[in-house]
Amino acid sequence: MHAMAKQSDIPHIPLDVQNALGDLHPLQKILLFRRGITTYEAAQAFLEPSYEHHVHDPFLLPDIDQAVARICTALERNEKIALYADFDADGIPGAVILHDIFKKLTHENLVIYIPHRHEEGYGVHMPALKQLHKDGVSLIITIDVGITYASEIAWAQENGMDVIVTDHHEPQDIIPPAHAVINPKLNAYPDPMICGAAVAWKLGCALIATLRTNNDTRVQDIPEGWEKWLLDMVGIATISDLVPLIHENRALAHYGLHVLRKNKRPSLRALFQELRLGTQTLTEEDIAFSVTPRLNAASRMAHPRDAFAFLIAENREIAHMHVTHLGTLNDARKKLVASIVKKAHAKLRARNDLPPIIVIGDPNWNTGVAGLVATKIAEHYERPAFVWSKEGDTIKGSCRGYNGISVVELMEHATEHTFLQYGGHSGAGGFSVDLEKVHTLEQSLTASYESIYPNGFDGEIVAGHHIDTHLTLDAVTMETYRIIESCAPYGMANPKPTFLFEHITIDSVRMFGKTKEHLEIIVRDDTHPKGVKAIAFYAHTETFTETVLEGRTCSLVAQFDYSIFRGKSELRLKIVDIV
């Protein structure tokens, strides 16, 4: 009998499912069943993603043939090509992918355009298009943007600039009249939820494959399979962009991490060295909490070109210079987010009750960090959050979903004319509204939620938290950790497993860190009298449902955390709550 998953822990798994999952470990069966996997074949596909079977043929995407043919013509004519990318950690890696491909194909007549987050905002902008036209661009390839900009793209086409849209955001009623529109949501592509950088990578793969078929001299010296090295950027974008980490995304994140661990880019080598991240043990959390914030800090605090320049750095010295710069921007971003989150909590505490959808903002808040604030509010209050600020005469903001509730669906079902613009995908989005509409935005979104979920959103909650199963402290072993990691990478639609440890006693409490900002406790139960370490970053004894006190008997909601710092490894628990 496995100590970590006793038979009494599995009563919710139907016997036929247990049998169907075969000889898999009992804890694996629990984790897989919680993720909707009920057959051995599906389990094998989930546990062992295959590049050949789970990374789909790029030619299944809509308009890909037209796009590749147009790029081939541009290469032959040495036309000036512009890569027009979004300014986040999806668009920028996507721009790096196509930049690297054109560089490999020795096409140097290339310009990169990434809008300034604060001065221009998200989207395809007329002033930018007019400048590209003036500069002699004849082909524009958008990355992670464009699907909702029909009039702007129509202008470009009418003025002699062909546009290839590569995007993954939700299409609206009018599809842009571009030369080609490549979006997995526009046809029966096997996984419509891939990120923007993945769409750009697939366009690049299709281009290289076509050039190889045509025996083009440009690919003669490119090794077979070279394009797989670009999965480092696809992996970063997939993990960063809050897309579901299942199906093809799971395979892309899996192989992206594999390439990142091999780590050929001077930029990432310098960053991992600075952060003391071991490349061989790199995880999706290292990307999400260490790499993504620095890429996004460029657009939030300065210009997104800084992140692009960092990723394409060709030598160690330039890379280290960019690492220092992005680190400074990220530190400033942290302080700004912490300040706004504190103000948001104060506003929310002043309310008697909270609706199922939180809308909060201030005209003076920084729009560039609205998404980060929305993430923290959604996680803390366990419901979708819409955070806004004022830009000019318009309210703009970002939103984050929670527990599978789609923010795009909420916005689609809101009262007509609520939004000037909105877009995104299930987990994250952006929006703009008229000044006078912001005061009724929460009411409109709450009505939308109630129309979609008339009986409320039904999720499995134990002790106030979504958990996978009950464990005892003797299960905190490397064997258990390896079982948990077999279901990684974790993210949206595949959340990191959370466990409930009941009847535990807190033996000791201490604060640690430079300013004593982190909490560490030692907990024990009947199965582990010596005790196990549990930590919580940026937390204190009053953070949780129950006050943390030495000698207190309580229940612990926690996740497994394997830390490697300065060459020392440690398995511990990460506190979610004390209840």
Tell me if 93 is assigned to some domain.
Answer: yes
Asked if residue 128 belongs to a domain, the reply is yes
Mode of pairing for the β-strands spanning 421-424 and 385-391: unpaired
Pairwise CA distance, residues 126 & 153, whole Å? 9
Name the token pair of 311.
Answer: 């990723």
Query: In the structure, what pLDDT confidence band is assigned to residue 9 with cuts at 50, 70 and 90?
Result: very low
Average confidence (pLDDT) over 327-338: 95
Closest by Cα among 401, 388, 400 to 433: 388
Q: How many residues does the chain have?
A: 579
Residue 300 exposure: Cα atoms within 13 Å on the Cβ side: 30
Say what percent of the chain tops pLDDT 90. 79
End position of a domain, from candidates 404, 419, 452: 452
- Do 237 and 319 sit in the same domain of this protein? no
Judgement on whether residues 516 and 369 belong to the same structural domain of the protein: no
Residues 447 and 525 in one domain: no
Q: Is residue 458 part of a domain?
A: no
Q: Which CATH number belongs to the domain containing residue 443 in this structure?
A: 3.10.310.30
| Predicted pLDDT of residue 237 | 98
Number of structural domains in the chain: 4
Handedness of CA 361, 367, 373, 375 (dihedral sign): positive
Pseudo-torsion of CA 335, 378, 243, 226, nearest 10°?
20
CB-CB neighbours of 405 under 10 Å: 20
From 336, 359, 382, give the residue that closes a domain: 336
Handedness of CA 202, 207, 208, 214 (dihedral sign): positive
In this structure, what token pair is assigned to residue 142?
Answer: 């958008």
Radius of gyration (C-alpha) of the chain in whole angstroms: 24
Domain residues for 117?
A: 58-261
276 with 253, same domain: the answer is no
Q: Is the pLDDT of residue 2 over 50?
A: no
pLDDT value for 455:
64
Higher pLDDT, 417 or 85: 85
User: Rounded to the nearest 5°, which phi and psi values hold at 534?
Assistant: -135, 135
* Residue whose C-alpha is closest to residue 506's, from 559, 547, 465: 547
pLDDT, tens digit, for every residue of 543-578?
898 999 999 999 999 999 998 877 788 999 999 999
Any domain includes 5: no
Q: Which of 396, 431, 452 is at the close of a domain?
A: 452
Q: Give the SS3 label for residue 306.
A: helix
Among candidate residues 90, 134, 101, 131, the one with its CA nearest the CA of residue 113: 131
Query: What's the pLDDT at 268?
Result: 97
550, 491: one domain = yes
542 phi/psi in degrees, rounded to 5: -100, 5
Around Cβ 417, how many Cβ atoms within 10 Å? 10
What is the per-residue pLDDT for 456?
A: 56
Contacts of 568 (CB under 8 A, 6+ apart): none
- The 10s digit of each residue's pLDDT in 244-282 is 999 999 999 999 999 999 988 999 999 999 998 888 889
257 with 267, same domain: the answer is no
Amino acid symbol at 55? V
Place of tokens 């790096």: 96
What average pLDDT does range 408-413 have in this prediction? 92
Record the tokens describing residue 289, joined without a space.
Answer: 């909490």
> How is 214-271 classified by DSSP, letter by letter?
TT-GGGTTSPTTGGGGGHHHHHHHHHHTT---SHHHHHHHHHHHHHHHH---HHHHHH
Higher pLDDT, 231 or 460: 231
CA 442 from centre of chain: 25
Environment class of 221 (CB within 10 Å of its CB; exposed 0-12, middle 13-18, buried 19+) = exposed
CATH number at residue 214: 3.90.1640.30
pLDDT at 166: 98
Distances 216 to 76, 79, 201, 207 between C-alpha atoms, Å: 10, 17, 20, 11
d(CA 108, CA 81): 9
Strand order in the sheet with 162-166: 110-113, 81-85, 139-143, 162-166, 180-182
* Residue 227 to residue 565: CA distance in whole angstroms: 33
With bands split at pLDDT 50, 70 and 90, how would you rate the model's confidence at 419?
very high
User: Does residue 9 lie in a domain region?
Assistant: no
From CA 557, how far away is CA 540, in angstroms rounded?
16
Question: Looking at the structure, do residues 311 and 394 belong to the same domain, yes or no?
Answer: no
pLDDT digits (tens, 9 = 90+) for 495-548: 899 999 999 999 999 999 989 999 999 999 999 999 999 999 988 999 898 999
Give pLDDT tens digits for 422-437: 888 778 889 999 998 9
My answer on whether 510 and 489 are in the same domain is yes
Look at residue 407 and tell me if it is in a domain. yes
Strand partners, 333: none
Residues 416 and 481 in one domain: no
* 48-74 b/e (C-beta count within 10 Å ≥ 16 → b): ebeeeebbbebeebbbbebbbebbbeb
Say what the pLDDT of residue 264 is: 87
543: Cβ contacts below 8 Å, ≥ 6 apart: 519, 536
Instruction: Assess whether 546 and 497 both reside in one domain.
Output: yes
Comparing C-alpha atoms, which of 254, 208, 248 is closest to residue 56?
Answer: 248
| CA–CA gap between residue 548 and residue 551 (Å, rounded) | 9
Task: Taking residues 129-154, report their average pLDDT.
Answer: 97
Segments of 289-425 assigned E as strands: 358-361, 385-391, 394-400, 421-424
User: 275-284, 347-356, 456-465: which range is least confident on average?
Assistant: 456-465
Residue 32 lies in a domain: no
Closest alpha carbon to 77 in 137, 154, 164: 137
Count other Cβ atoms within 10 Å, centred on residue 534: 26
Question: Are 66 and 186 members of one domain?
Answer: yes
Residues 559 and 533 in one domain: yes
Identify the pLDDT of residue 20: 94
Is residue 175 domain-resident?
A: yes
Closest CA to 399 of 412, 385, 410, 414: 385
The enclosing domain of 502 has a CATH number of 2.40.50.460
- Residue 454 has what pLDDT? 77
